[in-house]
Structure 1
């Protein structure tokens, strides 16, 4: 069942057992996997207490609550390993940057290539002529700017998002659980191979359009979704960082990976644009665009080689074996009901979301509602970002006649602005407000006022940026609106940090799994809704989609105003909705 194998959820319990094992007896027999005791839901809870209680030691002889100052178990696990076998984020960051450059470099060319192929297929179906061969759409750009072609292209991107997003939502919990049992490197390799296969199909479709139908690109999206897609790949990178980084430094490590992602998305498109422009002097446009895809395939191959021959695995053999043993015991306990057919019948995709509605000791209604509101805000922002990406590129092509170079410049300017906000503005604001040692003295008791300020301001700037998209009729104003929306990039890491402050440290992995599932759902719903709106309104009022996107950010802003900072919960509200997601 999904609830038993939610992504990265098993890791927390395994860490706890390993921590006890390392702390109490270094020479004891191999780790025994002990099923967690059920949580009693009828325990009286003081709702006016802080968001998260100070952790207690159940084995304490005095029985008095004490702060958990135990050293992170990972230090003992990594101690003694030679430097070439010691996992570190700095092993993964350089090749991951190469991977994100390849990912960012083909975003705009792939959408424009799809539009060209859809355009050619559309006119071939309208006026089939067996005498004349296929025409390079890049040589006749005007005929591909019609409302009919734009609507058809938007629908194709919608189907692509559905094919990838639905399969990602189904497979991501399984892939996450497999990474707990067999390591992050193997699963990250699988995800990269799925992306590689999808791009190979795109190349074949563009190179041989008379033999390979454009719909084969949808098959490539489906393969990418089966392997987890880039979303799960990013989650695996975060899991790698969590495995080899102490909790106090984890937010910094996550920030490095976010910076890699946005740097790749910022530099990739403009580099691809210049490559295409230079290559187009010697070959036709389609061949020039394919050069970018060949380079991207080379980057994927280098990344796979790094993963398998250079980067050390972050999950130790002991933790992998413990996870496999735990899975084996759970499978035996399920008995015959664990066969494939029964598991399909009892499949519950919402089961991992139980972490967003915690019950029992240490939880209260304030924690529960804050988790729900934070997760809702995070999902809305992610869904809008994913849903708007393809629509914006199609809109720029139709409204301003921007090709790869101009579109690449727009994407680069927006994402450079986002990287600046993440690496300069946000750390500077944090230093000014919290001081040099502020992050070390913060209690693990929910979001503070500064977190909520950053979240609300970020959502507001996102909303203003999309209002600017709707009003701009000039390319420069459209770029300026994108730069304003980029300020909202500070919201995503702040939301992730705020979410983790509402759960115990041993539940962070389970929480990341739940948010990953929500992101997978958003990847399906966002493009479906917004591509559908654009397709329906492109001939009447094509800016309507940006009005809807701005309104969606307004909903996220409304949700953020109901999130309360820690220390302000005095009213006691009891709840008995433990089975909300069951």
Structure 2
């Protein structure tokens, strides 16, 4: 048995070396590969063998001990919930942390500023109307930014009445440092300060995500998807702990500490990297023809968690009138997700696939680094960028560059639509806090609506449209290149995104913001379609690296556009706060045009797909 295993293993190694040489040849830019079709056949057979081995290995085991989507979706949901519950409370906590500290430090002023609602201010002001004093307490009405002065000696002589009045209104309106509403959300200085802090955090997130996404994708191909999930969860626990330390223990506003403590979670690469690793896991256990639908379901699960998270936080804050408790909820979810990852999640990649990935890595990076030891540091830095070369596809055997054009177009459209949606999210929240006086509860409702609607679109509407195009209109699924189904779904999504931004530009109503969340959700199908379309041009063996490269490009835009829009908003908040929406609208329109003219269905790649399918059926 052992001798037979070694003989088979030796044959597999020879086969892998032969495959490896062909793979390196095929992926060299600007060099025609005369054996492209033959290479695809060998690679397809090899991946099919590995897939069958995994099926045989786990077929007699219980479902929870096999690689499966159910456990993956549960873990991904809990992981996503752990940071989405923080989304809206964290903004309010940042505002309150800044404003409370600055009010305390303003000792030279004879005025003490108390932020209350319009009703509270008017009621208390009427009670103090008959009193006069040179020393007053200013009550700022958030909705109008007007000031009412109250005699300070009246507060001293009527201490009990004042305390009871303020206690009532503070409980009703969340007037405490950790309450539901910001104590300074009407002050534009705080808007500018928090906008700048979020710009810095977005920059850090983009830089770390840019450098780490491709590396995590590469590591997932070499050491497995589960290994990366374990790393993500450990980082997530530390992130929750450090956020609690800052707002619960340190408390006093400190710019440097706030940035450091709120940046810990970015070392996991962010939600883009989570999606990439999850999509890689799904690709390992799903057939190519069902992969698109599986990735759509994965994205719907993530969007569902993105919707439930803010809703949970809004519900808890409304009951407890405290944002701090959400930090502990986040920590609890992180711990549960980590336990499930370490105990139940089973590796999806075949050990031979991991071996191949390590051999290729050693050949491409380690050996080259040794031969150029004097430039070793430069090579280490360069290794973070090398996977991006995978987007520059080689010419086909007939000299066509259609696959290259399609991939670059998909990446460009993905960057623009991400910048129009995710890139403006922080700014839109700040705008709604300023314009419509939104609190944690309203922010939570908006984010929940966005997440729930995207989940519904991906779970229900997207499969219906996909099946309608295939069964009713006879569009054919091409597993090797962009097809008409991809083009139609991408264009429809972009049109809905364009309409959602247009409504925000031309209207001035908080209810319209909720409506635009529904319209934007109808465009949510674009992300899984782009993911599945790009990975069509790669082997399953390297899907982790390809998904990692997609995450890199997304982090690149998240590095640039959120900071860009936040700075635009910071400079224009006094005069034209909607400028960021106008710029986003222009970008969305451009992406519609580019997707219509730039995506080309390739008959040549379709013929390759047909031939491969014919060979498979003849077997």
TM-score range, shorter chain: 0.7 to 0.9
Q: Deviations over 1:554-578 (max 9, x none)?
A: 22112112224425799xxxxxxxx
Q: Give the CA deviation at 1:68.
A: 6.8
Aligned match of 2:204: 163
Q: Give the CA deviation at 1:308.
A: 0.7
Aligned match of 1:393: 429
Distance 1:54 1:336 in 2: 30
**Contact 2:29-2:393 within 8 A present in 1 as well:** no
Q: Give the CA deviation at 1:460.
A: 1.6
**Residue of structure 2 aligned with 1:258, choices 287, 295, 299:** 299
Report SS of the residue matched to 2:294: helix
Distance 2:428 2:367 in 1: 51
Q: Deviations over 1:293-321 (max 9, x none)?
A: 11111111011111111222223444434
Name the CA shift for 1:76/1:89 in 2 (closer, same or farther; >3 Å).
same
Q: Give the CA deviation at 1:383.
A: 2.8
**Residue of structure 2 aligned with 1:31, choices 3, 8, 13:** 13
Aligned match of 1:7: none
Normalised by the length of structure 1, the TM-score is 0.81
Name the CA shift for 1:491/1:230 in 2 (closer, same or farther; >3 Å).
closer
Structure 2 residue 59 is matched with structure 1 residue 74:
no
Q: Give the CA deviation at 1:263.
A: 0.5
Distance 1:195 1:366 in 2: 41
Distance 2:558 2:433 in 1: 23
Distance 2:579 2:104 in 1: 30
Aligned match of 2:418: 382
Report SS of the residue matched to 1:263: helix
The number of aligned residues is 530
Structure 2 residue 511 is matched with structure 1 residue 529:
no
Aligned match of 2:329: 295
Q: Give the CA deviation at 1:374.
A: 1.1
Aligned match of 1:573: none
**Residue of structure 1 aligned with 2:94, choices 114, 117, 141:** 114
**Contact 2:481-2:601 within 8 A present in 1 as well:** yes
**Residue of structure 1 aligned with 2:514, choices 479, 499, 502:** 479
Q: How does 1:313-352 map to 2 (within 5 A)?
A: 313-330=347-364, 331-338=366-373, 341-343=376-378, 347=382, 349-352=384-387
Q: Deviations over 1:428-474 (max 9, x none)?
A: 112222118968x5233532333222212211211111121223322
Name the CA shift for 1:110/1:99 in 2 (closer, same or farther; >3 Å).
same
Aligned match of 2:77: 97
Report SS of the residue matched to 1:56: helix
Name the CA shift for 1:386/1:30 in 2 (closer, same or farther; >3 Å).
same
Distance 1:569 1:57 in 2: 16
Distance 1:437 1:470 in 2: 36
**Contact 2:289-2:479 within 8 A present in 1 as well:** no
**Contact 1:119-1:137 within 8 A present in 2 as well:** no
Q: Give the CA deviation at 1:406.
A: 1.6
Q: How does 1:207-286 map to 2 (within 5 A)?
A: 207-210=248-251, 213-280=254-321
Structure 2 residue 459 is matched with structure 1 residue 423:
yes
Normalised by the length of structure 2, the TM-score is 0.77
Name the CA shift for 1:338/1:425 in 2 (closer, same or farther; >3 Å).
farther
Distance 1:211 1:117 in 2: 7
**Residue of structure 2 aligned with 1:561, choices 588, 592, 596:** 596
Q: Which runs of 5+ in 2 are unaligned?
A: 115-175, 606-619
**Contact 1:104-1:268 within 8 A present in 2 as well:** yes
Name the CA shift for 1:92/1:346 in 2 (closer, same or farther; >3 Å).
closer
Q: Give the CA deviation at 1:157.
A: 0.6
Higher RCO, 1 or 2 (CA under 8 Å, sep at least 6)? 1
Q: Deviations over 1:219-246 (max 9, x none)?
A: 1343323332332222222222222223
Structure 2 residue 234 is matched with structure 1 residue 183:
no
**Contact 1:196-1:300 within 8 A present in 2 as well:** yes
Report SS of the residue matched to 2:13: coil
